């Protein structure tokens, strides 16, 4: 009889165990590490991620263009994202998905190039940072991976003063260290050359074809010779019509490792400084307020 009573009590005990154990398990389970990839986060996790990042986000920008005869068309996109993602692992930030809508008019004659009109480039970039800001990114670091954006991005950052924003845009536009590391073999090292090929050897060696690097010349062709200080948009095509400026055959893993580590560490340091920056947003707000009443500004 006692056995029957005990047996009848077992389902209640088992049910109580099922009710209690998930809560106990959830409390003891380790907290899930948040991804740095914007597109991988769930809605609830995105809120946590923005808070953990101290509202700091990264917009890595590349481009789709020919990179000599031996590197992938998306080289700039691949390297800028690799840098941003690894830097965000050191200094947590949320990294925006692939963005390749920059300036590349000079390569429209090459296969695979995707070039957008200037109006669309600026409009899309503005809409993107506005949307990032609307989603809680109050400090947006643009990490540039493409030399052709060197004029576009500072201009974009400057135009943020055209009208009030509740976020700040920062630009990081260094891709190679000024000095240090393994000694380079070449002096002309601009596009798909020694440095860029070396970096791709580290991040995507499966996409590098060093045996093809000598199939075209990356030397300056000097089809255009103008005085120093005179600029024209066709200058790049006049000097490097094959969209190759350098010698990819000189690339080494050692150089790639050094430069990629420098780039990642430099962006991580920039992120730390940006997170600690309490002045830019305050000064920007102050500027916008004064801009509404310029005659009231003390002279």
pLDDT in tens, 221-261: 999 989 999 999 999 999 999 999 999 999 999 999 999 99
Handedness of CA 173, 183, 180, 211 (dihedral sign): positive
> Can you give the pLDDT at residue 24?
39
Kind of pairing between the strands at 139-144 and 56-61: parallel
Mean of the pLDDT values across residues 201-226?
97
For residue 69, what is the DSSP state? B
Strand partners, 191: 245
Model confidence at 10: pLDDT above 80: no
Q: Which domains does the chain have, with CATH numbers?
A: 38-275 (3.40.50.10310)
Produce one character per residue of 21-39: b if its CB has 16 or more CB atoms within 10 Å, e if not: eeeeeeeeeeeeebbbebe
User: Is residue 63 within 8 Å of residue 99, measured between CB atoms?
Assistant: no
Strand partners for 69 = 67
Mean pLDDT, rounded, of the chain: 91
Structure tokens belonging to residue 41: 């986060």
**Rg, C-alpha atoms of the chain:** 26
Residue 16 has pLDDT above 50, yes or no: no
Side-chain-facing half-sphere of 56: CA atoms under 13 Å = 24
In the predicted model, what is the mean pLDDT of residues 88-97?
98
pLDDT tops 50 at residue 26: no
Least confidently predicted of 6-10, 85-89, 163-167: 6-10
Which helix (H) or strand (E) segment holds residue 103: the answer is none
The stretch 80-85 carries a mean pLDDT of 98
pLDDT bracket for residue 29 (50, 70, 90): very low
| % of residues, the chain, pLDDT over 70 | 90
List CB contacts of 50: < 8 A, sequence separation 6 or more: 57, 94, 135, 136, 137
Per-residue pLDDT tens over the stretch 167-188: 999 999 999 998 899 999 999 9
Q: How far apart are CA 89 and CA 98, in angstroms?
A: 17
């Amino acid at each position: 009889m006692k056995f029957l009573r005990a047996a009848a009590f077992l389902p209640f005990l088992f049910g109580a165990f099922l009710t209690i154990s998930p809560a106990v398990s959830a409390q003891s389970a380790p907290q899930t590490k948040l991804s740095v990839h914007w597109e991988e986060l769930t809605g609830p996790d995105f809120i946590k991620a923005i808070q953990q990042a101290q509202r700091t986000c990264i917009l890595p920008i590349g481009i789709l263009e020919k990179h000599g005869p031996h590197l992938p068309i998306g080289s700039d996109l691949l390297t800028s994202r690799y840098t941003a993602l690894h830097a965000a692992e050191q200094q947590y930030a949320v990294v925006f998905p692939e963005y390749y809508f920059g300036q590349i008019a000079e390569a429209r004659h090459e296969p695979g190039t995707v070039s957008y009109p200037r109006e669309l480039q600026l409009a899309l970039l503005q809409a993107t940072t506005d949307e990032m800001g609307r989603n809680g990114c109050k400090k947006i670091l643009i990490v540039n991976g493409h030399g052709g954006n060197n004029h576009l991005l500072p201009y974009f950052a400057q135009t943020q003063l055209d009208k009030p924003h509740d976020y700040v845009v920062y630009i990081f536009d260094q891709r190679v260290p000024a000095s240090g590391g393994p000694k380079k073999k070449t002096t002309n090292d601009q596009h798909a050359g020694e440095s860029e090929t070396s970096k791709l050897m580290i991040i995507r060696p499966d996409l590098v074809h060093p045996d093809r690097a000598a199939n075209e010349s990356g030397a300056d062709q000097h089809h255009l010779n103008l005085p120093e200080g005179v600029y024209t948009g066709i200058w790049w095509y006049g000097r490097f019509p094959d969209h190759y400026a350098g010698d990819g055959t000189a690339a080494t893993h050692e150089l790639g490792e050094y430069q990629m580590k420098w780039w990642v560490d430099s962006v991580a340091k920039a992120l730390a400084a940006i997170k600690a920056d309490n002045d830019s947003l305050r000064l920007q707000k102050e500027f916008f307020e004064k801009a509404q009443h310029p005659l009231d500004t003390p002279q």
